[in-house]
Amino acid sequence: MRVTEALISQFINQANTAAKSAVFKATQKVVSGKKLESPSEDLVSAQRILHLDGILEELNHFDRARAIVQADLDATDTVAFAAINTMTNALETAVQMANDTVNPDDRVAEAEAVESMREHILDLANTKLSDGRFLFSGMAEDIPPFDENGVYQGSTDKRTVEVMPGFRVEQQTLGTELFGDPSIIKTLDLFVTALQANDTVTISQMITELDDAIHSMSLEHVSIGGRLKNVKETEVLLEDLTLRTQIQRAESQDVDLASAITELNTAELAMSAAIEASKRLIGASALRWLS
Amino acid sequence: MSSINEILAIGKGGMAVSKALLAVAGKNMANVNTPGYSKEYLTLSTSQFAGLGVNVNGPLGIRNPILSDSLRNVLGNQGFFNGQLLPLLSIEPNVNDLDGNGIGKALSEFKSTMQEAMANPGSETHRSAIITAADFLVQSFNSTSKQLTETAEKTREQAEKVALTINTIAQNLAELNSKIAVLAHGKEPPNALLDQREQLLQKLSSLISIDTLDVGDGTVSVFIAGGRPLVDHALASTVTINPPNPAPGTPVGIEIIKPSGQVMNAIGKIGGALGGMLVAHNDVIIPGLTDLDEIAFELTTQFNAIHAGGVGTDGSTGNNFFKALNAVGGSASLIALSDVIKDDPKKFAAAAVGGTLPGDNTNLELLLSMPEQIGVLSSGKSIEDGWFDIQIHFGNALGTAQTGSDIESATVNQLANLLASETAVSIDEELILMNQANQSFDAAGALIRAAEEMSATLINLVG
Q: Give Cα separations from B437 to A108, A136, B126, B332, B447 (angstroms).
A: 140, 111, 93, 75, 15
User: What is the rounded distance in angstroms from the CA atom of residue B2 to the CA atom of residue B57?
Assistant: 24
Measured in angstroms, the CA of B330 and the nearest CA of chain A are apart by 26
Measured in angstroms, the CA of A290 and the nearest CA of chain B are apart by 6
- Let me know: does B170 contact B179? Beta carbons within 8 Å: no
Q: Is residue A157 within 8 angstroms of chain B, CB to CB?
A: yes
- Most confident range (mean pLDDT) of B52-61, B322-331, B425-434 is B322-331
Give A214's pLDDT tier (boundaries 50, 70, 90): very high
Give A291's pLDDT tier (boundaries 50, 70, 90): low
What separation, in Å, do the N-terminal and C-terminal C-alpha atoms of chain A show?
23
CATH number of A50-250: 1.20.1330.10
Count of residues in chain A: 291
The proportion of chain B whose per-residue pLDDT surpasses 90, expressed as a percent, equals: 81
Write down the pLDDT at residue B258: 96
Selected residues 205-224 of chain A with any CB under 8 Å from a CB in chain B: none
Write down the pLDDT at residue A286: 63
Q: Whole-number mean pLDDT of chain A?
A: 92
Pairing state between β A167-170 and A160-164:
antiparallel
Write down the pLDDT at residue B184: 79
Q: Is residue A62 within 8 angstroms of chain B, CB to CB?
A: yes
Write down the pLDDT at residue A288: 59
User: What is the rounded distance in angstroms from the CA atom of residue B52 to the CA atom of residue A71?
Assistant: 114
Q: Which residues pair with B60 in a beta bridge?
A: B41
User: What is the rounded distance in angstroms from the CA atom of residue A125 to the CA atom of residue A76?
Assistant: 10
pLDDT exceeds cutoff 70 at A233: yes
Instruction: Identify which of B98, B35, B303 has the alpha carbon closest to the alpha carbon of residue A40.
Output: B98
User: What is the rounded distance in angstroms from the CA atom of residue B14 to the CA atom of residue B20?
Assistant: 10
Maximal C-alpha separation, chain A: 137
Please provide the DSSP assignment of B368-412 as one string: HHGGG-TT-STTS--HHHHHHHHHHHHHHHHHHHHHHHHHHHHHH
- Let me know: does B291 contact B299? Beta carbons within 8 Å: no
Residue of B nearest to A21 (CA): B406
User: What is the rounded distance in angstroms from the CA atom of residue A37 to the CA atom of residue A52?
Assistant: 15
Convert the pLDDT of each residue in B116-128 to its tens digit: 999 999 999 999 9
Please provide the DSSP assignment of chain A as one string: ----HHHHHHHHHHHHHHHHHHHHHHHHHHHH-BS-SSGGG-HHHHHHHHHHHHHHHHHHHHHHHHHHHHHHHHHHHHHHHHHHHHHHHHHHHHHHHTSTTS-HHHHHHHHHHHHHHHHHHHHHHT-B-TTS-BTTSTT-TTS-SB-TT--B-S-S---EEEEETTEEEE----HHHHHTTTTHHHHHHHHHHHHHTT-HHHHHHHHHHHHHHHHHHHHHHHHHHHHHHHHHHHHHHHHHHHHHHHHHHHHHHB--HHHHHHHHHHHHHHHHHHHHHHHHHHH--THHHH-
Give B51's pLDDT tier (boundaries 50, 70, 90): low
Write down the pLDDT at residue A93: 96
Q: Is residue B301 within 8 angstroms of chain A, CB to CB?
A: no
Q: What angle do CA B418, B420, B425 make, to 5 degrees?
A: 140
Write down the pLDDT at residue B52: 64
The proportion of chain B whose per-residue pLDDT surpasses 70, expressed as a percent, equals: 98
pLDDT exceeds cutoff 70 at B463: no
Average pLDDT over residues B315-333: 96
Q: Which amino acid is it at B455?
A: S
Write down the pLDDT at residue B49: 65
Convert the pLDDT of each residue in B75-134 to its tens digit: 999 999 999 999 999 999 889 888 878 899 999 999 999 999 999 999 999 999 999 999
Q: Can you give the pTM of this predicted structure? A: 0.86
Per the CB < 8 Å rule, is B360 touching A157? yes
Average pLDDT over residues B38-56: 80
Per the CB < 8 Å rule, is B427 touching A2? no
User: Which residues have a Cβ under 8 Å from the Cβ of B344 and sit 6 or more positions away?
Assistant: B312, B314
pLDDT exceeds cutoff 70 at B410: yes
Among A138-152, B144-158, B182-196, B333-347, which is the least confidently predicted range? B182-196
The C-alpha torsion from A213 through A193 and A96 to A106, rounded to 10°, is: 160
Interface size between A and B, measured as CB pairs under 8 A: 174
Instruction: Verify cis geometry, omega within 30 degrees of 0, for the bond prior to A104.
Output: no
Count of helix runs (H) and strand runs (E) in chain B: 12, 11
User: What is the rounded distance in angstroms from the CA atom of residue A65 to the CA atom of residue A51?
Assistant: 22
| Complex ipTM tops 0.95 | no
Work out the burial of residue A100: count CB atoms within 10 Å of its CB; fewer than 13 is exposed, 13-18 middle, 19 or more buried: exposed
Of the candidates A40, A53, A172, the beta carbon closest to that of B92 is on A40
Q: Is residue A75 within 8 angstroms of chain B, CB to CB?
A: no
Instruction: Verify cis geometry, omega within 30 degrees of 0, for the bond prior to A144.
Output: no
Q: Is residue A76 within 8 angstroms of chain B, CB to CB?
A: no
Per the CB < 8 Å rule, is B115 touching A61? yes
User: What is the rounded distance in angstroms from the CA atom of residue B330 to the CA atom of residue B146?
Assistant: 10
User: What is the rounded distance in angstroms from the CA atom of residue B440 to the CA atom of residue A290?
Assistant: 16
Q: Whole-number mean pLDDT of chain B?
A: 93
Convert the pLDDT of each residue in A247-286 to its tens digit: 999 988 888 888 889 999 999 999 999 888 888 887 776 6
Domain-wise residue ranges, chain A: 5-31+257-290, 50-250
Q: What angle do CA A134, A135, A140 make, to 5 degrees?
A: 55
Write down the pLDDT at residue A290: 58
Average pLDDT over residues B177-183: 93
Which residues of B fall within a CB distance of 8 Å from A285?
427-428
More confident residue, A197 or B52: A197
User: What is the rounded distance in angstroms from the CA atom of residue B162 to the CA atom of residue B381?
Assistant: 39
Give A287's pLDDT tier (boundaries 50, 70, 90): low
User: What is the rounded distance in angstroms from the CA atom of residue B75 to the CA atom of residue B410?
Assistant: 11
Instruction: Identify which of B89, B405, B85 has the alpha carbon closest to the alpha carbon of residue A37.
Output: B89
Work out the burial of residue B324: count CB atoms within 10 Å of its CB; fewer than 13 is exposed, 13-18 middle, 19 or more buried: exposed
Q: Which residues pair with B56 in a beta bridge?
A: B44
The proportion of chain A whose per-residue pLDDT surpasses 70, expressed as a percent, equals: 98
Write down the pLDDT at residue B280: 97
CB count in 10 Å sphere of residue B105: 17
Q: Give Cα separations from A160 to A177, B120, B423 (angstroms).
A: 16, 11, 81
Instruction: Identify which of B63, B103, B129, B135 has the alpha carbon closest to the alpha carbon of residue B323.
Output: B135
Instruction: Identify which of B410, B109, B429, B66 has the alpha carbon closest to the alpha carbon of residue A15.
Output: B410
